[in-house]
Amino acid sequence: MRKIIKTKKLINGVSKKILENKCIIIENGKITKVLDLKNFKDKKGDKVYNFNKEVVMPGMVDVHVHLAFSGITNNRSFRAESADLDYGAQALRGYAFALDHLNYGFTSIRDMNAPGNVAINIRNMIKNNKLKGPNILACGLGLSVTGGHMDQPGWGSHVNFKDMTYPCDGPDEFIKGVRTQLKAGADFIKTNLCVSSTYDLKKPYKQEMSNEEIEAVAKITKMLNIKVASHTSGGSAITKAVECGLHSVEHGHWLDNKTVDLMKKNNTFYVPTLLVNERNFDFKENEKFKSSKNWKWLELSREAKWVSLKKAIKSNIKIATGTDAGFMLPHGEMNYRELEYLVQGGMTNMEAIISATRIGGELLGINVGTIEEGQKADILVIKGDPSKNIKILSDRKNIKVFKDGKLLENSI
């Protein structure tokens, strides 16, 4: 049976204009045609949806989430959650978080490090039609140098968590890390090039992976045709990695001009994750913390990121929408704020929507993010026009979701 979505207003993720009087034809979960309404002829048995007042747009993509984490903001509680919950419990909870993204119109997400294969298992259950949910790409465990950003110190010496992270030291161990994550089912590799540093606030970041380690990851992933995403702060490590063919720069608080030029030349994606930076300023902090170097770092990185975003927009780099949901912020309900920040940084509303749809889809490479022939029928029906007001996306009651051509009734 064909499904037909008729609409007076269509955002297709490609054009910066709203298209009028269109008709989307869906067969077997895919978009097979997008026609002008006047050229459409119905067939017996078609299931037709008429959306005369709503705006129809592609399902959105959050390219940076952490399904294994809840978004709890207290550092001690964040750690306690990891100790309290079995990986099985984390996976069940993570599945609920995946649905939170879906219900807010994010039909595709990319998980950027989940202990114990949590995100890989959620992805498999959805992919194998055992559970309904968004499309998920997962990296398994991020590769980090020992004691690095994703292998954090500060646990008691008797504490021994298994599979929380994948520490590697030296090119060979990084190669082993890549292969181990792929064996576990990773769709791509996450690394950690550089990290924030409060040692010298004139240079508030430091390189973690050596150039040799970066080269080794680049070489093996190129051979295997696997993409690499990397947590970054600033400095020479990003330049090196972009030179080596890194696929996406995550965070990138301090992007220098040379790196931005290289990103343009090499088609590297930028995922600024503005929300997670701004989120630090949602809370009332005590004066002691506000006079600390850590607070200063938050202020510096916040300022720097707006500058990096401006450079990236000016240079026409592909900027994808990623929130870091799970880390400092909940899943789904705040995602729209990342689009608002992209607008604050210089994009139009429609450009921010395209970042959260087409560009995110291109980054994932799984036929999502636009309403075009051959794409998955992941489609949103919005009460109101997000190209005029992004905030409409903050209320899930304004969002109806078609996933693989099926309308999710009452959300799930």
Stretch that binds Zn ion, among 87-95, 212-220, 323-331, 353-361 (CB under 5 A): 323-331
Query: What is d(CA 160, CA 163) in angstroms, rounded to the nearest whole number?
Result: 10
Closer residue to Zn ion (CB): 11 or 194: 194
Residue 64: CB minimum distance to Zn ion, A: 6
- Candidates 83-91, 108-116, 292-300, 305-313 — which segment interacts with Zn ion by CB under 5 A? 108-116
Q: For residue 106, which phi and psi values (nearest 5 degrees)? A: -95, 95
Q: How many residues would you count in the chain?
A: 412
Q: Is 340 in the site for Zn ion (CB under 5 A)?
A: no
* Of 54 and 187, CB closest to Zn ion: 187
**Cβ 175 to Zn ion, closest distance in Å?**
23
Residue closer to Zn ion, measured from CB, 112 or 263: 112
Tokens, residue 330: 């909940």
Nearest approach, Cβ of residue 324 and Zn ion (Å)? 4
| 338 forms part of the interface with Zn ion (CB under 5 A) | no
Phi and psi at residue 116, to the nearest 5°: 60, 30
Please give the Cα distance from 247 to 231 (Å, whole number). 12
State which residue, 79 or 219, has the beta carbon closest to Zn ion: 79
Nearer to Zn ion, 112 or 350 (CB): 112
Residues in 111-170 at the binding interface with Zn ion, rule: CB under 5 A:
112
- Measured from the CB atom, the residue of 112 and 275 that comes closer to Zn ion is 112
Query: Rg of the chain over CA atoms, in angstroms?
Result: 21
For CA atoms 262, 263, 268, 272, give the dihedral sign: positive
Q: Which of 1, 9, 2, 109 minimizes the C-alpha distance to 381?
A: 9
Closest approach, Cβ 120 to Zn ion, in A, equals 17
Quote the tokens at residue 4: 């037909």
Question: 401: helix, coil or strand?
Answer: strand
Q: How far is the CB of 65 from Zn ion (least distance, A)?
A: 8
Could you give the dihedral angle defined by the CA atoms of residues 267, 273, 274 and 280, in that order, rounded to the nearest 10 degrees?
A: -160
Closest CB to Zn ion among residues 208, 324: 324
Site string for Zn ion, 269-308 (x = CB under 5 A): ----------------------------------------
Q: For the CB of residue 40, give the shortest distance to Zn ion in the complex, in Å.
A: 44
Decide whether 26 or 119 has the Cβ nearer to Zn ion.
Answer: 119
Range list of H helices, 128-281: 171-184, 211-224, 236-243, 257-266, 274-279
Q: Which stretch binds Zn ion (CB under 5 A): 25-33, 105-113, 331-339, 357-365?
A: 105-113
| Segment interacting with Zn ion, rule: CB under 5 A, options 50-58, 74-82, 287-295, 324-332 | 324-332
Query: Among candidates 334, 330, 331, 328, which has minimal Cα distance to 77?
Result: 328
Encoded tokens for 348? 């139009």
Contact 87, 42 (CB under 8 A): no
Q: Counting beta carbons within 10 angstroms of the beta carbon of residue 119, is it exposed (0 to 12), middle (13 to 18) or buried (19 or more)? A: buried
Least spacing, CB of residue 66 vs Zn ion, in Å: 6
| Beta carbon of residue 112, minimum distance to Zn ion (angstroms, whole number) | 5
Q: At what angle do helices 87-103 and 118-127 cross, to 10 degrees?
A: 60
Nearer to Zn ion, 326 or 369 (CB): 326
Nearest to 251 by CA among 64, 60, 62, 61: 64
324 contributes a contact to Zn ion by CB under 5 A: yes
DSSP string, 37-68: GGG----TT-EEEEEEEEEEEEPEEEEEE-TT
CB of 149 to Zn ion, least distance (A): 10
| Window contacting Zn ion (CB under 5 A); options: 67-75, 76-84, 321-329, 376-384 | 321-329
Check residue 258 and report its DSSP letter.
H
Q: Which segment (37-45, 179-187, 322-330, 387-395) binds Zn ion by CB under 5 A?
A: 322-330
Interacting span for Zn ion (CB under 5 A) from 93-101, 106-114, 222-230, 371-379:
106-114
Q: Which residue has the tokens 């705006």?
A: 55
# residues near Zn ion by CB under 5 A:
2
Task: Kindly tell me which of 56 and 61 has the beta carbon lying closer to Zn ion.
Answer: 61
Residue nearest to Zn ion (CB): 324
What's the distance, CA 120 to chain centroid?
Answer: 15
Closer residue to Zn ion in complex, CB, 112/228:
112
Residues that bind Zn ion (CB under 5 A): 112, 324
